[in-house]
Structure 1
Amino acid sequence: MSMRPYVILSVAASVDGYIDDSNPERLYLSNEADFDRVDEVRAGVDAVLIGANTVRRDNPRLRIRSQDRRDRRVAAGRPEIPLKVTISSKGDLDPASKFFGTEDVEKLVYVPTSAKSAAGERLGEVATVVGAGDPLDLRSVLTDLSSRGVGRLMVEGGGHIHTMFLTAELVDEIHLAVAPFFVGDSTAPRLVVDAKFPQDFRNRMHLDEVQQIGDIALLRYLLKEPSDA
């Protein structure tokens, strides 16, 4: 079996399983203490992956907020922030997005091989565009990341990306922060989209940790032993 990074799926969701609402402005589900926890986890990985829709909708920088954590990474001989990674069906992203910001770290855009040329013309000055098969093969993405020295990968959404990783059984643990309110909007993005999940009532995940962070409940689930990856 091909080597791949250890995959942590990190997400905050409302009690009813939504990761945003349908308003143009981003809905912040976590509290400040949980944002700091996520910052700590992010500081401990080699790469952070989000989907193209998250790049467009949230326009995140994916930086590490704590200067101390950035300094510790540099002192350990690592880049100040993890590699930034996204997956796109066409590569039709805005090169001025914060994702492609000025931080001195590599940005990787994985696209179907048939879309690589057009995506490279659009994004080649701000990112490395990689063809990953037709259709795009998630295992090829992880194999390529491993070849680039990525041992730990943090996946931060959105719902389609979560679903891709979970249905392919490529997640090792989930960090689920549950926000203490309901969204109740069927048009809003959810934690996952409709799919057939291996993690169903016949194959229950292992709840390894429960932690209270202010008004947030953090649930840490293990899906498999690292040796099974």
Structure 2
Amino acid sequence: MQTSEARPYVVLSCAMSLDGYLDDASDERLVLSNREDLDRVDGMRAGCDAILVGANTIRRDNPRLMVRAPEHRERRAERGLPPPAKVAILGHGDIDPQSRFFTHGDAQKIVYCATKTARRNHVRLGGRAEVVDGGDPVDAGFVLADLAGRGVRRLLVEGGGTVHTMFLTAGLVDELQLVIAPFFVGDGRAPRFVGDGHFPWHPGHRATMVDVRQMDDVVLLRYALSDRFEAS
């Protein structure tokens, strides 16, 4: 497991169903969380330097990836901090340049592409974001090192399953915050929390649970996944 200080502190945050799904298979976004938890996540966003998602999350959910609450935005402004940067991992595909990731807010936007598509996406995105060659395939360690070089000290990874798997199997997550919704999806076509892979945590090396919190009808499980864990 990599614990080098030469990368941001990485928090992986997501909500899933009781059977481990991030969404259902319909065209409508499935709401897994509740108002209290959404406000908690908004506060986490406000405390980070950058928020990272994968291309499939942008395609499926069309997120703005912005700090929503005015009070959270004001606290950042009072500290002289810009909005958290928006970061996407694109791989070999494309993203619609009209997605809200690009069109909403004035935060810095960075897209890491596979080598073969970096030039094409640089042209396609038309200056809406900085396009970076992230390797072929995109390397999570390179992404973190590059973000550290840009001054990102705390990174929030918000999905989806491919990105979760990439960072977790590489041992590059310091803290996991997992919210469990009180229902099942039961559809194998739907996206799951993680895919197949060799994870550093297994029956012989259990993750360390540091907190359990009930928020109305959902529960937050918080795990320390590295020796850099911050107990705040």
* Same structural fold, with TM-score higher than 0.5 when normalized by the shorter chain: yes
Q: CA RMSD in A?
A: 1.2
Residue 68 of structure 1 aligns with which residue?
Answer: 71
Could you tell me which of 203, 220, 223 is aligned with 2:222?
Answer: 220
1:225 Cα deviation from its structure 2 partner = 1.3
Residue 23 of structure 1 aligns with which residue?
Answer: 26
Q: List, as ranges, runs of 4+ consecutive aligned residues in structure 1 with deviation greater than 3 Å.
A: none
- Give per-residue Cα distances to partners, 1:133-173, cap 9 Å, x unaligned: 22321111100000111000000000010000000000001
Task: State the distance in 2 between where 1:164 and 1:184 align.
Answer: 24
Residue 100 of structure 2 aligns with which residue?
Answer: 98
Residue 122 of structure 2 aligns with which residue?
Answer: 120
1:25 Cα deviation from its structure 2 partner = 0.3
Residue 45 of structure 1 aligns with which residue?
Answer: 48
How is 1:136-175 mapped onto 2 (pairs within 5 angstroms)?
136-175=138-177
1:91 Cα deviation from its structure 2 partner = 5.0
- Normalising by structure 2, report the TM-score: 0.94
Matching of residue 209 in structure 1 with residue 192 in structure 2 = no
Letter in 1 for 2:72: R
Matching of residue 59 in structure 1 with residue 65 in structure 2 = no
SS at match of 2:42: helix
Unpaired segments ≥5 residues, structure 2:
none
Task: State the distance in 2 between where 1:19 and 1:137 align.
Answer: 23
Residue 200 of structure 1 aligns with which residue?
Answer: 202
1:101 Cα deviation from its structure 2 partner = 1.8
Task: State the distance in 1 between where 2:180 and 2:46 align.
Answer: 22
Residue 176 of structure 1 aligns with which residue?
Answer: 178
Task: State the distance in 2 between where 1:125 and 1:40 align.
Answer: 29
| Kept after mapping to 2: 8 A contact 1:2/1:143 | no
Task: State the distance in 2 between where 1:64 and 1:89 align.
Answer: 26
SS at match of 1:139: helix
1:2 Cα deviation from its structure 2 partner = 6.8
Residue 135 of structure 2 aligns with which residue?
Answer: 133
Letter in 2 for 1:110: Y
Unpaired segments ≥5 residues, structure 1:
none
- Normalising by structure 1, report the TM-score: 0.96
Distance 1:63 1:183, change over 3 A: same
Residue 17 of structure 2 aligns with which residue?
Answer: 14
Task: State the distance in 1 between where 2:104 and 2:74 align.
Answer: 18
SS at match of 1:191: coil
1:211 Cα deviation from its structure 2 partner = 0.4
Task: State the distance in 1 between where 2:70 and 2:27 align.
Answer: 30
